[in-house]
Amino acid sequence: MIDWLIAELADRQHGVVAAWQLIALGLTHDDIGYRAQTGRLHRIHRGVYAVGHRKLTPKGHRMAAVLAYGPDAVLSHWSAAAQWDFGHSRWKTDVTTPTSRCSRKTIRAHTAKLHSEDRDIRDGIPVTSVARTILDLAAQATEDQLARLVEEADRKELLDLRKLERAMARRPRAAGTVRLRKVLSAYRGAADTRSKLERDFRKLIAKAGLPEPQFNVLVAGLTVDVYWPQWKLVVELDGEPYHNNPWKFETDRIRDATLQKHDLRVLRVTGDRLDNEPNAVLADIIALARS
């Protein structure tokens, strides 16, 4: 019976178990040692074993690293990004614990007391949330690397800008926060420019008698500028010329594709066009609303 429970536990945890879990099942240290000597358990880290064989998947190795630091540990940093599938892991597995712990040969330990919203589970592995992972990596990644992480998280429909803002608000002095805000500003557009665009757009549609849309609302996992749910129409207000920001040009295309996969129409309106061709902008909105 006990061996069946061990196998069931290992099956849920990508083939690995921790000594503290086995003791909770009723085994003694001698029982664990005997199973290790007879080849039923294979030591991966101190206090962590693969069940039945040594061969583990990348997720098995990540799970083993988390288990090595106890029940409150989570996968974090580059390893968390890899687990969420919007980044690449490094040679060492990153793990965060609430109390200071020493790193090991293949594990890099970080210390932090995480807010409940900063914790998540991905494929059965405790891991930092997408927002907290991006915030942690902002202190380590270059601006270009960070921009690509944000872009890839968006592409995978994992990015929630509201949660990211809350994560930054909880740690306003965290290293990399200024860099992350700069990247997000480029991703969504400068705040002052966007506010003027929004005011001008509101005046235009009000004068034309169009129904009041939703502004800065979450749609398909993305925060969009303008949304008419009755028409399934999204309008994105672009203040910066595309040729000045090739990265934004690319990420905007990724956002458009994500919205279109949810059967939404997307219209992009630049500041220049809003100023110089307001009637043409209205005509486009009306045409898309009727189609």
Spell out the SS3 assignment of 155-201. HCCCCCHHHHHHHHHHCCCCCCHHHHHHHHHHHHCCHHHHHHHHHHH
Q: How confident is the model at residue 259 (pLDDT cuts 50, 70, 90)?
A: very high
Length of the chain measured in residues:
291
What pLDDT does 248 receive?
66
Determine the pLDDT at residue 84: 97
Confidence (pLDDT) at 31:
94
**Residue range 231-242, pLDDT digits in tens:** 999 999 887 544
Would the pLDDT of 97 be above 90?
yes
pLDDT at 106: 95
Do 288 and 267 touch, CB atoms closer than 8 A?
Answer: yes
What residue has token string 């949330």?
129
So what's the pLDDT on residue 243? 40
84 versus 251: the higher-pLDDT residue is 84
At 255, the pLDDT band (50, 70, 90 cuts) reads confident
φ, ψ dihedrals at 130, nearest 5°: -60, -45
What's the angle, vertex CA 104, arms to CA 101 and CA 106, rounded to 5?
135
For the structural domain made of 191-290, what CATH number should be given? 3.40.960.10
Distances (CA, A) of 285 to 196, 212, 235: 20, 13, 9
Mean pLDDT, residues 4-16: 94
**What mean pLDDT comes out for the span 86-107?**
92
Closest CA to 60 of 70, 76, 75, 38: 75
Mean pLDDT along residues 43-63: 94
Burial of 275 (0-12, 13-18, 19+ CB in 10 A): exposed
pLDDT surpasses 60 at 194? no
Domain boundaries, the chain: 57-185, 191-290
Mean pLDDT within 121-132: 97
Which residues of the chain form beta strands (DSSP E)? 16-18, 41-45, 48-51, 74-75, 93-97, 107-111, 119-122, 125-128, 214-219, 222-228, 233-238, 265-270
Average pLDDT score over residue span 258-280: 92
